[in-house]
C-alpha cells in the first residue's frame, strides 16, 4: 500500500516508521530543513531522537508529492488538532483521510469527524486512536490501537496499513466515542498529574480520579451520541490509564509541573512538545455546558490552567464534593 503521513512530529514519525518495512510510506514534514535532516540523518532529532528511521521510509517537504504518492492508497494526517482543519480543507476532492490527533478544536469546539463532515461532506474519514506512546510504537513494542470510521472500507484499510506483529489494530464504527475518549483522557491526565505531584494525596486519590474521570468522559460521550461500551475499550479506559499513569505522558507531566509550583507557561516550555489537554480542557468544558453535562474534574483543571485556583485547592475542592450514589455515568 502507498501511504502518505502528513506531519513529522513524534507520532507521525513513529507510525510512518512502523509501516515502512511493509508498505511504501512517504513522510511529509512542513519544514524543508527538517525534511532534509530526517532523510540524511535517519532520525527525528527534535521529536523522536531515540529511534533510527528504517531505510525504506522516504521523507519530503513537498506536500503535493506526498498527496500524489497516496492517491489510491491511504492519507494519514499527523498534525496536532490545531492543524487538522487546514489539512482537511486542502485535501483533493473525495480523498479519504485518517487522522491521529486527539481533542476538540479551539474556537469551534468541534471533534475531528465534525470538522470533516463540515469541510468534506461525503468523503470517508476516520481516526486512529488508543493507548500509545510514540516512542514505544517506533521501537516496535507491543501496542493496540483502534481505527474508527463510519466507512468500513477505510477502517479496513487502516488495519491493512498498520496491523503487524507488534501493532494490533481493531476497528470501530463509533467515531464519536473514540474521539471523545481521545480528547478527554488528556485533560484527565493533567488532573492525575496534579494529584501525583501532591505527596499528601497518595495512590488512592489517583485511583478515584481515574475512575470518576472515566465516568465523566462517558457522560460527555453519551450526550454527543457515542456508545457506552466504547469507553470500556482501548480509546476510553485503555488510553486514559496509559496517559494518566505513564511516565512518557506529556499531559501528566504538565500536571506534575503545575503541582510543583511551575506556571503553565514554564511547564509547556519545558516539554518541547504539544500537550493537547491544555487547549482541549476549556473547549471541552464549554461544549459540555452547552449540552447540560457536568464535568467537575475538567472544570477543576480549567480553573488551574487559567490561574483561578492553585492546584492543591482545586483537587481538595473535588474531594469535598457532595456524596452521591455511584453510577458509571453519574
**Which residues have a catalytic role annotated?**
185
Residue 16: DSSP 8-state: H
* C-alpha dist (Å) from residue 151 to 5, 124, 125, 251, 261: 20, 6, 7, 31, 46
Residue 311: count other Cβ atoms within 10 Å of its Cβ. 26
Burial environment of residue 284 by CB neighbours within 10 A (0 to 12, 13 to 18, 19 or more): buried
Dist CA 317 CA 328 (whole Å): 21
Longest dimension (CA), the chain: 60
CB-based burial, 27-40: b 16+ in 10 Å, e otherwise:
bbbeeeebbebbbe
3-state class of 4 per DSSP?
strand
Q: Which of 243, 313, 312, 309 is nearest to 280 (CA)?
A: 243
The C-alpha R_g of the chain, in whole angstroms, comes to: 19
Dist CA 203 CA 253 (whole Å): 17
- Backbone angle region of 183, left / alpha / beta, with phi > 0 → left and psi within -120 to 50 → alpha: alpha
Dist CA 12 CA 16 (whole Å): 6
Three cell numbers, residue 63: 506536500
* C-alpha dist (Å) from residue 177 to 61, 113, 147, 209, 223: 34, 11, 12, 20, 10
| Cα atoms in the Cβ-side hemisphere of radius 13 Å centred on 326 | 6
Dist CA 185 CA 242 (whole Å): 9
Amino acid at each position: 500500500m502507498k501511504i502518505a503521513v502528513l506531519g513529522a512530529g513524534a507520532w507521525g514519525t513513529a507510525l510512518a516508521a512502523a509501516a515502512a518495512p511493509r508498505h511504501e510510506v512517504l513522510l511529509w514534514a512542513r519544514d524543508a530543513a527538517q525534511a532534509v535532516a530526517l532523510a540524511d540523518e535517519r532520525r527525528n532529532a527534535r521529536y523522536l531522537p531515540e529511534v533510527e528511521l528504517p531505510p525504506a521510509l522516504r521523507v519530503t517537504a513537498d506536500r503535493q508529492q506526498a498527496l500524489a504518492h497516496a492517491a489510491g492508497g491511504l492519507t494519514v494526517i499527523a498534525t496536532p488538532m490545531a492543524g487538522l482543519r487546514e489539512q482537511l480543507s486542502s485535501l483533493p476532492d473525495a480523498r479519504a483521510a485518517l487522522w491521529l490527533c486527539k481533542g476538540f478544536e479551539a474556537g469551534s469546539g468541534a471533534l475531528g469527524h465534525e470538522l470533516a463532515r463540515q469541510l468534506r461532506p461525503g468523503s470517508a474519514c476516520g481516526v486512529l486512536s488508543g493507548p500509545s506512546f510514540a516512542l514505544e510504537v517506533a521501537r516496535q513494542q507491543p501496542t493496540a490501537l483502534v481505527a474508527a470510521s463510519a466507512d468500513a472500507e477505510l477502517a479496513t484499510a487502516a488495519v491493512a496499513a498498520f496491523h503487524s506483529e507488534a501493532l494490533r489494530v481493531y476497528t470501530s464504527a463509533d467515531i464519536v466515542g473514540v474521539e471523545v475518549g481521545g480528547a478527554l483522557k488528556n485533560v484527565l491526565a493533567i488532573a492525575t498529574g496534579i494529584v501525583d505531584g501532591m505527596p499528601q494525596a497518595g495512590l488512592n486519590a489517583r485511583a478515584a480520579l481515574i475512575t470518576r474521570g472515566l465516568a465523566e468522559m462517558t457522560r460527555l460521550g453519551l450526550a454527543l451520541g457515542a456508545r457506552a461500551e466504547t469507553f470500556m475499550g482501548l480509546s476510553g479506559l485503555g488510553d486514559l490509564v496509559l496517559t494518566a499513569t505513564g511516565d512518557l505522558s506529556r499531559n501528566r507531566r504538565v500536571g506534575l509541573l503545575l503541582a510543583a509550583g511551575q506556571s503553565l507557561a514554564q511547564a509547556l516550555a519545558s516539554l518541547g512538545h504539544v500537550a493537547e489537554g491544555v487547549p482541549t480542557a476549556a473547549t471541552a468544558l464549554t461544549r459540555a455546558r452547552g449540552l447540560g453535562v457536568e464535568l467537575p474534574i475538567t472544570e477543576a483543571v480549567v480553573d488551574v490552567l487559567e490561574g483561578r485556583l492553585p492546584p492543591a485547592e482545586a483537587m481538595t475542592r473535588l474531594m469535598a464534593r457532595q456524596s452521591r450514589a455511584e453510577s458509571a455515568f453519574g
